[in-house]
Structure 1
Amino acid sequence: MSNPHVGWRSHGLLLLLAAVFADNFVGRQILAVMIEPIKHEFGVSDTAMGLVSGLAFSGVYALLALPAGRLADGMSRTRLLAMACLLWALATMLCGLAVSFWMLALARMAVAVSESPTTSASMSVIADLYPPHRRSFAISCFTAAPTFSAIIGLSLGAWVVEHYGWRMAFMLIGIPALGFSALLGFVVKDPARGRWDLSSAHAAHPLQSLGIEARKLLALPAYRCLILAGGLTTLSAYAIGMWNTSFLVRSHGLSLQHAGLLAGFICGGVAGVGALFSGWLSDHLTPRNAHWQIGIPVIGHVLALSALVTYLLWPNTVWRQLGGLPIPSAMLWCALYSFFCTWWVAPSFNLVTQLVPANRRGTAMALQTIISTLLGVGIGPLLAGLFSDALQPVFGIESLRYALLLVNIPVLAAIGLLVRTSSHVTQSRYLTVERAA
């Protein structure tokens, strides 16, 4: 076996995968600045908007993610992603043509079908592009892309929605995916599977039926606790991401465009920096002590939750005017929350790639994505909408503030599961951490 190395081709493919992932998430995040205009146009409730922004997408996504992960384990991952990008572009543009609420919901389901292979196939590729001791930062570059894309989805998206309507916004974000599809289909090559796996524990064994493979993965206590912790975290994070713009409009009196700008630049930009920092930190600390791979996410959760509670309860005061843009004092706490809330992603995803063999990573990441999508994209925004509607008779326009507090309680359970994951990993013979030379 030739000695593999990381070169510009690896970095280029990582950049392309991150761009695809970012475009996918622009399609999700831009709904946050569409909630108010879509709600008024179709005359629906907060619960209904939670449905179309969450469950309509996540139900289909979760149903197809496991078969899509299996496809990623058995065929060219770059070709699979090329087909997914093409279908995603068409389905996203279809959202812009919706003439009723239910047509929009069906179009969102079509987006979910096309997006289902993205995470599992991309994470499988990244695990073959970088060795374990460099993988957390590579994963953080990939997973930070959606947080940076919030700048486009929320700030630029808010401007497009306000000036040209939400339908045009859907049409515009579908166009880049056509170019990504061409590059993945005709230019890049799929890397060799398992080229960094030197341990016999990760030797490739023949794949069995989808159900058997899923049960084998879920039988691993460390893997099971890890993906459930991620799911509970995304439940809270997606609720904040989807409703934060509306919260700033309702509780801090901002216009839709100003709220989108702040949520995009401050929350999205800072979260991206936090994700990159946690990946770098994990790659530097974990080779010295493997417990940092869990310790970094736990510290991030504690600090993020503390900042979030303060942000949601902070009174409506303006820190300063930047041009014509009023910046609420609460945005300082929102920025701190955004920085720490992504600390769990790269170390946790890296650990998943180390717990399973190379030819099962697509399935393993698909299971992780199913849990996160059902709880995060599906339940999180919907639950926040339900709580907001239920609390409205008591708190009026401030009901969303307390609804978002309630949907962040599951983060406490996620911290407990990560602690259990650490004890399981210590005993697991599957954990292999390569040390930097």
Structure 2
Amino acid sequence: MRTPPVSPIGWRSHGLLFLLAMMYADNFVGRQVIAVMIEPLKQEFAVSDTAMGLVSGLAFAAVYVLLGLPAGRLADHLPRTRLLAVSSLLWALATVACGLAGSFAMLVVARMAVAVFESPSTSTSMSIIADIYPPQRRSFAIACYTAAPTFSTIIALCVGAWVVNAYGWRSAFFAVAVPALLISALCAFIVRDPPRGRFDLTPPRAPQPTVGLLASAGELWAQPAYRCLVLACGITTFSAYAYAMWNASFLVRSHGMPLQYAGILAGLVGGICAGVGALFSGWLTDHLAGKNPRWQIGIPLVGHLLGGSTLILYLLWPGDVLMQVKGVPVPSAMLWCALTSFFSVWWVGPSYSLLTQLVPACRRATAVALQTIVSTLCGVGIGPLATGLLSDALMPWFADESLRYALLLISSTLVIPMALLWRTYRHLNGLAKVDAYA
């Protein structure tokens, strides 16, 4: 395998990465802030847990799934920074519309509009990151990008809970829209699009005939290693989003905490530990994979094993109080919550980095978009909704504890991505043997 060309990584690359991370963080705040609105929204609109799973997940994911692949295709053919400028502006306007919703149906429609304009963001950003950092530094760069939303959980849950409590849930939506306007202006007038394929390990191919959107996606899906990796990421987010979206409500119902304190704890503990875990796993992967590429699979596997185990302990831990911090009761279960958040994100940086290496630059955004579609459908769409359905179904037997057992059932699905990651490793190992023989 050829060594990628040596090229300096300067402040422009780091600055662009920071801007992309801030965009992703703001998008994620817009998703996660609903977690601290569940109880007030249920009261105002008189809806069930299942309905809240719809507005917090499926209403967003259904539209995202439909438009994610065309958005990735656009990113492969249009100036990427200009595409992000337009989508950020329209995303901000749709978020404001969420705050202006006068009925539950209007809120659902507004959430669907948010999904429309957010659809290009992840695939476009990943395509750009792959062109400003070489493979041996890419896991940590992607970890920095994906760690921003985990740190933004602190804003979404802590600050969001305070804003919702003090000023109402509508004001929280208005506040989330403001940073997107500034990001849109920077992408439109300041940032330049980097050259595509700058750090590709293989020489550029001769121009290929243009294929249709579905044909291009089909060719990508036909690659066994890519397919298994994408499915592993998607099913991981199924339980991850369910846990993230319902964690504050779990603390309210099973540990008797006020909503504001539950949001603060879930945001601080979950956000900080997940952010540190993402950065650490990205650094560790770059360090170990340089010596043995198998660690791009090994790090996610270890993270799933440890994160899944600590999540089960967290959900089953009794509701005793460990300490009081400035009047805020801290359950002893939060120790397991911290470990769960730290380990559960170990898959992100290595998996995305490996994905960008499996496809050529001209299809990178489409490949990431296809992965994002699967993850969004499984995670944002089905995860929170399935948890709400299970919680409602278990209510006759477990009452307020039904959410605890619903989350336990959802978390058991982590064994599936572990098996898929192992299959990915087997496919990659087979390809390596073929290449060596050739």
Give the shorter-chain TM-score range: over 0.9
What corresponds to 1:301 in structure 2? 304
Letter in 2 for 1:327: V
Contact 2:60 2:381 (C-alpha < 8 Å) held by counterparts: yes
1:72 corresponds in structure 2 to 75
Partner of 1:254: 257
Change (3 A) 1:384 1:2: closer
Deviation at 1:428, TM superposition (A): 2.5
* 1:145–1:202 distance in 2 versus 1, CA, 3 Å: farther
Partner of 1:142: 145
Partner of 2:225: 222
Partner of 1:435: none
Q: Does 1:173 align with 2:168?
A: no
Counterpart mapping for 1:70-219 below 5 A: 70-200=73-203, 205-219=208-222
> 2:281, 2:299 within 8 Å by CA — same for their partners in 1?
yes
Deviation at 1:410, TM superposition (A): 1.5
The 2-side partners of 1:429 and 1:177 are apart by 43
Asked if 1 retains the 8 angstrom alpha-carbon contact of 2:5 and 2:199, the reply is no
Q: Which residue of 1 aligns with 2:272?
A: 269
Partner of 2:248: 245
- CA distance in 1: counterparts of 2:434 and 2:236, whole angstroms: 23
The 4+ residue runs of structure 1 with deviation greater than 4 A are 201-204, 429-432
- Shift, 1:207, TM fit: 3.7
TM-score of the superposed pair, with normalisation by structure 1: 0.97
Q: CA, structure 1 residues 41+314, in 2 after alignment: closer, same or farther (shift >3 Å)?
A: same
Deviation at 1:3, TM superposition (A): 5.7
2:405 to 396, 402, 405: 402
CA distance in 2, matches of 1:251, 1:344: 29
Range that drifts further, 206-215 or 317-326: 206-215
Asked if 1:235 corresponds to 2:233, the answer is no
8 Å Cα contact 1:160-1:166 kept in structure 2: yes
Contact 1:27 1:92 in 2 (8 A): yes
Q: Secondary structure at the match of 1:326?
A: strand
Query: Matched residue of 2:329: which SS?
Result: strand
Unaligned runs of 5+ in 2: none
> Aligned pair in 2 of structure 1 residues 431, 173: CA closer, same or farther (>3 Å)?
farther
Distance between the aligned counterparts of 1:206 and 1:182, measured in 2? 35
- Stretches of structure 1 lacking an aligned partner (at least 5 in a row): 433-437
In structure 2, the partner of 1:374 is 377
Per-residue deviation, residues 397-424 of structure 1 (Å, max 9, x unmatched): 0000000001112210110000000011
**Partner letter of residue 60 of structure 2?**
F
CA contact (8 A) 2:242 2:379 kept: yes
The 1-side partners of 2:16 and 2:416 are apart by: 36
> Structure 1 counterpart of 2:264, which letter?
L
Aligned residues: 432
Post-superposition shift, 1:201? 7.6
> Percent identity, aligned pairs only?
65
1:158-189 CA deviation, whole Å, 9 max, x = no partner?
Answer: 00000000000000110110000000011000
Alignment-mate amino acid for residue 25 of structure 1? F
Amino acid at match of 2:22: A
* Structure 1 residues 203 and 348, CA gap change in structure 2 (3 angstroms): farther
Aligned mates of 1:190, 1:201 — CA distance in 2: 19
Distance 1:431 1:31 in 2: 49
- Tell me the alpha carbon deviations over residues 141-162 of structure 1, each in whole angstroms, 9 at most, x when there is no partner: 0011110000000000000000
C-alpha RMSD of matched pairs (Å): 1.5
Q: Secondary structure at the match of 2:290?
A: coil
Aligned counterparts of 1:186 and 1:430: Cα–Cα separation in 2: 48
On the 8 A contact 2:163/2:171 being kept in 1, the answer is yes
Does the alignment pair 1:324 with 2:352?
A: no
Distance 1:343 1:125 in 2: 22
Give the aligned residue type for 2:33. Answer: I
Q: Is contact 1:235–1:379 with CA below 8 Å preserved after alignment?
A: yes
3-state SS, counterpart of residue 321 of structure 1:
strand
> Which letter maps to 1:323?
K
Distance 2:305 2:155 in 1: 28
In structure 2, give the amino acid aligned to 1:46: D
Q: Deviations over 1:329-375 (max 9, x none)?
A: 00000000000000000000000000000010000000000000000
Deviation at 1:234, TM superposition (A): 0.1
1:355·1:430 contact (CA, 8 Å) conserved in 2? no
Counterpart check, 1:21 vs 2:24: yes
Q: 1:211 Cα deviation (Å)?
A: 1.0
In 1, Cα distance between the equivalents of 2:97 and 2:414? 35
Instruction: Tell me, yes or no, if the aligned pair for 1:204 and 1:358 is still in contact at 8 Å.
Output: no
Matched, 1:417 2:396: no
Instruction: Give runs of aligned pairs for residues 282-361 of structure 1, distance below 5 A.
Output: 282-361=285-364
Aligned-partner Cα distance in 2 for 1:386–1:394: 14
Quick check: 1:34 aligned with 2:37? yes
Amino acid at match of 2:320: T
